[in-house]
Structure formats: C-alpha cells, structure tokens
A = this chain, B = another copy of it.
Amino acid sequence: MKLVNKSCTEFVDVLSSKAAVPGGGGAAALVGSMGTALAGMVCNLTSGKKKYAQYEEDIQKILKESLTLQQELLDMVDEDAEEFLPLSKAYGLPAETDAEKAEKEKVLQEALKNACGVPIKIVRKCYEAIKLHEELVEKGSKLAISDVGVGVQCLRAAIISGQLNVIININMIKDQEFVSKVKEETDRLVNDGVKIADKVYERVLEIL
C-alpha cells in the first residue's frame, strides 16, 4: 500500500513509530505538497472574482503549475521510501573479507547517491512552489492572504527538511565531485528559497 493512500491519522501514527519509512524525507515531501496545495486553494478562491480579473490569466497559470508541483511532491513521499530500502539493505551486507568489504562499499556508495535523488528533487520543487506564492501574495485574493502565509511557512519547512536529508546522505559519499555539485545546488536553492519565503511572509503580515 502506498504511504499517501494511508489516512492522515495512519500516516502520523506510522511516522511516530520506529518503522523505517516514512521518516523525515517523506514528511518533508508531504508538508511541501500541502504548502503547494495552499497556493492552488488561493488561486481557486481568486479565479472568477471581478476585483482580480486583471490577473485571471496569471492565476490560471499559477494554478496549473501548483497542481503539477503538488502531485510531484506527493509522489516523492513514496519515492523517498523506495530509495531507502536499497540503502538499508546495503548497510546489512556482509563485510568480513576484503572482497566483501569492497563490494559493500561499492553498493553502499551507489545507494547513497540514489537516496539523495528524492531530497534534491524536494528542494527543487519546493523552491518552485515558493516562487508561486511570491507571485500570489500580490495577485491572489486578499481574503485568502493568510493561506499564502501558511503555504510559504510549510514550504520553508519542507525545503530546509529536504536539504537536511541531502546532507545526511552526502556526508557519507566519497565522490567529492558529486558531493560539491549537489551541495552547491541545494545550498543555493535553500538560501534563496528561505529568503523569498520570509519576504512573502512579511508581505502577508503587512496586508493582514
């Protein structure tokens, strides 16, 4: 059964258990999807309103993009869990002989790189979703402005959490070229994303 098909109650219950998945990565993806869904909600509450008619085309574009991002982030809840299993298996490989040690290290390094993939995507997608809220804070209905605020706060938490899950993997990866490339991209997106999220939130407080 897919994790996202569990009820919210079941998801929270299994999150609190010692079960290997979902963990922080899956939580980050779900919180990111929720933050993005709030952008979609603001679009749906703005669309068709006379007062915002001048932005109708932009609102439709933001809505479409938010629905795609929301689904992509939701899918990552289960993708993150799938990438965790090979990593967990790699840790369990025997390492008695030199040949076994070399084989384990090879499989582990590959699994670590794969396990980075989903958190990197979480960071990228949350960054894009924060940019949607940046546009919405000016073009969305003022009646739903607090939902833009909640949305960017969720995405701020999700992008930082994605980065944390990148860090725990790259800390053990030996391919320094891979590590610095991933670190450069995620650090940049998180720094920018958090700055934009904080700016959007300040703007929400001004408008309220």
- A residues at B contact (CB < 8 Å): 3-9, 11-13, 15-18, 23-24, 27-28, 30-31, 33-41, 44-45, 66-67, 70, 74, 77, 146-147, 149-151, 153-154, 156-158, 160-161, 164-165, 167-168, 171, 201, 204-205, 208
Contacts and interface: CB of A to CB of B under 8 A. Distances in A.
B34 A30 contact: yes
A3 B11 CA distance: 13
Contacts of A204: 164
Contacts of A67: 16
A190 B171 CA distance: 33
Given A31-B31, A34-B27, A149 B171 contact: no
Nearest to A151: B24
SS of A interface (majority): helix
Nearest to A17: B44
B17 A9 contact: no
B24 A12 contact: no
Given A8-B4, A8-B11, A24-B149, A16 B41 contact: yes
Task: Across the A-B interface, give the 9 residue pairs with the lowest CB-CB distance, nearest first.
Answer: A16-B40, A24-B150, A16-B37, A18-B44, A157-B157, A153-B157, A15-B37, A150-B161, A24-B147
B15 A4 contact: no
Contacts of A12: 30, 33-34, 37, 70, 74
